[in-house]
Structure 1
Amino acid sequence: MLSLRRGRYASRIAETEADFAAAQTLRARVFPTDAARKADPFDDHCIHVLVEDTQTGTLVCCFRLLHLFSGREIERSYSAQFYDLSALQTFNGPMVELGRFCVDPDTADADILRVAWGAMTAYVDGQGVEMLFGCSSFAGTEPSAYADAFAMLRDKHLAPDRWLPCVRAPKVFAFAKRLDMRADPKHAQAQMPPLLRTYLVMGGWVSDHAVIDREMGTLHVFTGLEIRAVPPGRARLLRAMAG
């Protein structure tokens, strides 16, 4: 289900200790903090997916999937440590939390993301998942570095009221209240992390605040995507990649 290939890249499920060690090493390169290098309690409950360069055997991307049968299980998620997700407890369909999404910073190839999203699409379709969610991270902990991106998120991509996460973390940047910020579209797109950019083009939405996570050395927003909201053309492309 999660094994597919495009060009020189292929995805598969992590199985061995060597697989998990490689994923931890890549995590440490993308999130260079002590917290990122270590396994956490959520790792044991997730499916871990690897994307490898088949010509060199190098790991170029990894992520993990936590399956929830409905919103009633939302407090089991990693994201629930940082966001009050009470509104999502009423979501009735299967959900998957996408976490620890890492791409090798030295490998710039769009096919890597295509393989990763193709694998996720195969899982979503195979399991009847109705919502994909997680934390989308900006490098660093200074909100002013991403003023244009946050202004665009405020103006165009906030969660619908029925699902809007509330504040739980002790330190946040409430960008939805910052009416003094203005978005330059070109700068905003350049500042968006690739994972978040992909969520948004598929119809995803974000929390109205970013968590300032000094332990991980990031700013992150809660990101949700209702599968039925994915534009038909985009859904066809994703399923073509998963096929």
Structure 2
Amino acid sequence: MVRKPRYAARLATDPDDILTAQELRARCFGLDCARDADGFDARCAHILVEDAQSGALVCTFRILDLTGADVGASYSAQYYELSALEAFEGRMVEMGRFCIDPDVKDPDILRVAWAAMTAYVDDYDVKLLFGCSSFVGTETANYLDAFAMLKARHLAPKRWLPRVKAPDVFRFAARLRRKPDLKKAMAHMPPLLRTYLMMGGWVSDHAVVDRQMNTLHVFIGVEIGAIPAARKRLLRALA
């Protein structure tokens, strides 16, 4: 799918591939179990980023093809009311369970993962990429500047805005009145979310408190047609 000198990305081809991805997910998410698995795994394609020499799995994520008509069957729809997106025209892809082996520190892993996602988007003419992007922990105090920046610069257009569905949420757009400290905001912004935002991504006006996964997460959407031209050229060069 995508091959660089140190890492290669490919689609999972058999149950053993998916098992390996589930084991990495459990370790990355700090779960007290051998595998992170759910009913969505069987419906998704799974991307594996492996060390080109050893074959070790260093990153994984899954993708679910959707249209507006079935956006309610997405993973994100468990937590966000997404009926506004039923009117979105064009193919959608939900990206989820993204994780990188915490013992491997190399920015090229994220670059190869995005190259693989870019190739998929181009090959299948995807118009909207979406998912949930998580902050570690369920306490909001360390992330107030990050949430204030999301409110000031990155809220979803009203026509696509996800509504509240989860029972426990932090309504940062309604509650925060502070001007964000941009340095602190970026320091506490999750790397995956930061990448989405650089592509012109937009977020929900609230964060879901997910105590099972010990995270706060926001809904994130990227309209492929709205990605800045320079960013598109960079992503396609990686692919």
Same fold (TM over 0.5): yes
Consecutive aligned runs of 4 or more in structure 1 exceeding 4 Å deviation: none
**Which one of the candidate residues 37, 41, 56 is aligned to 1:58?**
56
One-letter amino acid matched to 2:173: A
1:17 corresponds to? 15
Matches for 1:42-191 after TM superposition, within 5 Å: 42-68=40-66, 70-191=67-188
Contact 1:30/1:102 (8 A) holds in 2:
yes
Distance in 1 between the 2:199 and 2:130 partners? 12
Contact 1:158/1:208 (8 A) holds in 2:
yes
Cα displacement (A) at 1:36:
9.3
**Which one of the candidate residues 184, 206, 216 is aligned to 2:213?**
216
Contact 1:6/1:111 (8 A) holds in 2:
no
Contact 2:47/2:60 (8 A) holds in 1:
yes
Identity of aligned residues (%): 64
1:227 corresponds to? 224
One-letter amino acid matched to 1:208: D
SS in 1 for 2:186: helix
One-letter amino acid matched to 1:240: A
Cα displacement (A) at 1:67:
0.3
One-letter amino acid matched to 2:91: P
**Which one of the candidate residues 225, 236, 239 is aligned to 2:236?**
239
Contact 1:36/1:216 (8 A) holds in 2:
no
Cα displacement (A) at 1:145:
1.9
Q: How many residues align?
A: 239
SS in 2 for 1:102: strand
Contact 2:23/2:36 (8 A) holds in 1:
no
Contact 1:27/1:36 (8 A) holds in 2:
no
One-letter amino acid matched to 2:132: C
What runs of 5+ residues in structure 1 fail to find an aligned partner? Answer: none
Distance in 2 between the 1:52 and 1:135 partners? 24
Cα displacement (A) at 1:181:
3.2
